[in-house]
Amino acid sequence: MTVLLTRFRVDLLLLLVAASWGSTYLVAKELVSPSSVVALLALRMLLAAAIMATIVAARRNRVTAAELRVGVILGILLAAVFAFETFGIAHTSATNAGLIISLTIVFTPILDSAVSGRRLPGRFFLAAMIAVTGVALLAGNGALRPPTLGDLLILVAAIVRAVHVTSMHKLTTDRPMDSLHLTTVQLATCATLFSATSLFYGDSMPHFLAQLDPARGMLFLYLVLACTVFAFFVQTWAVRRTSPSRVSLLLGTEPIWAAIIGIAIAHDSVALAGYCGIALILAGTAWGRSVEQNHRLAAHPQLKVIPIEQK
């Protein structure tokens, strides 16, 4: 009974993380306009980095030179992901954003395969084509029209996120690095880049803060505390208490939550073709994840680690 309760608690917390990630697209859309994207990201990263740095300082473990170097490189990539993703959210629906970004699941193995020379099964590429077809249907929403600017920016964010995940794996494999330190350096790098950019582009941080009413202020805190800090700690805690496959599976429900929240709460308009696209995206990414994971474990049975992402 105790084992079942522990597993239920782990699964529930992971589902809460996936749901919070699925809600970030709607929350960000409520908070930003094209002119306030950089200010929002700067403040979000500053607060998240400050919280993480406080925790690192309390542990009294120093960040190593290698962690600093790798963290800065990964932080630059992560900043690009946040920038493309958030600018995209400002120009498309929360539903489209949450589903298109899920293509990272198929882009990452393809990029990793190209870098490592490890061939993927043909079934994986079929799954990828199913997911991409779904994106085309969702973006057109029943009409033969090109994707919007926001859809394209989210697509670029998915590609850059795949680069980030692949780079994280390459730069940290066989190197003793503290994941808390690495995440803190990445967030601090993002905070530095966005803070500097906000000085000459878009709204300033004080101007953005002045526009936050109590409701929007709560949404901003939710974005920082629940979707960034809480999510990181749950991942780190859960991966030590359940299998990596189970963590990956439960966190992979993020696009489902994004679709549910976007349609039910944001009332995003989706035609029949759009719903077909949603089904294809979810089916293609889930199948692709399963095929790639089974192929990787078959080739490397000793592999037990999944990459930890920051949202």
Per-run averaged pLDDT (10 residues), the chain, 311 residues: 69 89 93 94 96 90 91 96 95 90 87 82 90 83 74 94 88 81 93 97 94 94 90 74 68 86 88 88 86 74 52 62
For residue 310, being part of any structural domain is answered with: no
For residue 36, being part of any structural domain is answered with: yes
For residue 309, being part of any structural domain is answered with: no
For residue 95, being part of any structural domain is answered with: yes
Domain that holds residue 189: 2-299
Task: For residues 66 and 201, give the distance between their C-alpha atoms in angstroms, rounded to a whole number.
Answer: 32
For residue 31, being part of any structural domain is answered with: yes
pLDDT at 239: 64
3-class SS of residue 177? coil
- 8 A C-beta contact, residue 288 and residue 141: no
Q: Read off the tokens for 50.
A: 């400050």
For residue 195, being part of any structural domain is answered with: yes
For residue 64, being part of any structural domain is answered with: yes
Task: For residues 12 and 3, give the distance between their C-alpha atoms in angstroms, rounded to a whole number.
Answer: 14
- 8 A C-beta contact, residue 258 and residue 95: yes
Q: Which long-range contacts (CB under 8 A, 24 or more apart) does 142-151 make?
A: 142/271, 142/272, 142/273, 142/274, 148/91, 148/92, 148/96, 149/88, 149/91, 149/92, 150/87, 150/88, 150/89, 150/90, 150/91, 150/92, 150/93, 150/96, 150/97, 151/88, 151/92, 151/96, 151/100
For residue 24, being part of any structural domain is answered with: yes
Task: For residues 188 and 208, give the distance between their C-alpha atoms in angstroms, rounded to a whole number.
Answer: 20
3-class SS of residue 92? coil
pLDDT at 132: 86
Domain total of the chain:
1
pLDDT at 305: 46
Closest Cα to residue 230, out of 79, 24, 85, 41? 24
* pTM of the predicted protein model: 0.86
